[in-house]
Each structure stands twice: as structure tokens, then as C-alpha cells.
Amino acid sequence: MMSDPTQLLQAISDGDPRAAEQLLPLVYQELRKLAAAKLSQEKSGQTLQPTALVHEAYLRLIGPDDQVQWSGRGHFFAAAAEAMRRILVENARRKKSARHGGHLKRQQMFDAKAIDQQPAQHLLDVNSALDKLLKEQPVVGNLVKLRFFAGLTNEQAALALDISPRTAKRYWVYAKAWLRHEIEAQE
């Protein structure tokens, strides 16, 4: 039994069916912390729980359809951030669809004040701007995915992207300003 995530990722890439079972316990807590951090930023009433987000992301990463060649731990967590991003965006789109009551305003039972539906739209706006940023500046866009969608710290994201923490901090400041400008221009 291997205990190094990098070796297990390579074994998964090589087609070892037992490696995926061994990997989950090693990375689960870290993935769950990332998911919990991201979901804590969402508005209350979020129906997606950290455990469900981790499980869905893990299934997408290690699913039978994908034969990804993992280049290491950083690559895996970057892919996990992307998977979590896609899940959250899909969830926001689903909630906004008419079929799921997207045109309706939620109201609290007792004070009947309308709850702002801003978070779902905000997430979609960020995702749209991020897609554009990824095309123009992939490293900066990937940093945003790791920080915003996976909840990584600056140091963790820098390690995953193989850049210095100082560069990651500079990119993060730039990315926030760029995204804000892009989102305001969309409105």
C-alpha cells in the first residue's frame, strides 16, 4: 500500500484500480477543507455541502472516463479546483433556471423580506470573466481558480502553479482588479 499521493496519482494514470481507493483517504481532509472554505463564502441557504462537493469533484477527477496523466500533487489540486469551480457554476446555473424557480424570489417565512439572489448571478459573472482571463492569461486565471473556487491560500496556490508566493500575490492583486473591471463592463 502506497502512502504518497504523487505515487498514487501516477498509479491511477497507469490504470491501477486500487490506487484511487488509496488516494481518497490521503487527500480527503485537504479537499474537504478547500470545499468548506469555498462554500463558507456562499450566501446562506446553499444546499450544496462540502462533503457533496468533494465527492462530486473527486468522482470527476478519478472517474472512469478520464485517463489523466497527473504530473504531481499540484496538478491534482489544480484539477480539483477546476472541478469544484465547474460544479459550483453548474449549481448556480441550475438554481437560476426557470425549471428550478430561478425567476422566483425567496422569502423568509416570518418577516417576508425578499432574499437577494445576487450570489448565483455573481458566481456566473465571475465565471464568465474568468473564462476570458484564462484565454488571455492562463497562469493568472488558474491562480483565480485556485484561490476563489478552491479556497487555497496564496502559498498553496503558488506551490500548485510552481510560481513564487510573491508572484502569486502580485497576480492575485492584478486578477481581482481585472475581474472587477470585466464584471462591471458586463453590467
Cα(92)–Cα(56) distance, integer angstroms: 15
- For residue 24, give every residue at least 6 positions away whose Cβ sits within 8 Å of its Cβ, in sequence order, or none: 58
Alpha-carbon 126 to chain mean position: 12
Using the Cα atoms of residue 121, residue 160, residue 30 and residue 176 in order, give the sign of their dihedral.
negative
Gap between the Cα atoms of 36 and 83, Å rounded? 15
pLDDT reported for residue 116: 37
Q: What is the tally of structural domains in the chain? A: 1
Please write the tens of the pLDDT for every residue from 100-114.
455 555 443 323 233
Phi, psi angles (nearest 5°) of residue 14: -80, -5
131-184: per-residue pLDDT in tens? 999 999 999 999 998 888 788 889 989 998 999 999 999 999 999 889 888 888
Longest dimension (CA), the chain: 58
Backbone φ, ψ for residue 160 (5° rounding)? -65, -35
Sign of the Cα torsion 174, 72, 16, 55 reads negative
pLDDT tens column, 21-75: 787 777 887 888 777 777 776 665 566 778 888 888 888 887 665 566 667 777 7
Give ∠ CA 158-162-168 in degrees, rounded to 5: 30
Confidence (pLDDT) at 134: 93
Closest listed residue to residue 7, CA positions, set 186, 20, 137: 20
The pLDDT value recorded for residue 1 is: 54
Q: CA Rg, the chain, in Å?
A: 18
Task: For residue 56, give its domain range.
Answer: 5-186
pLDDT of residue 44: 59
Residue 2: the pLDDT is 58
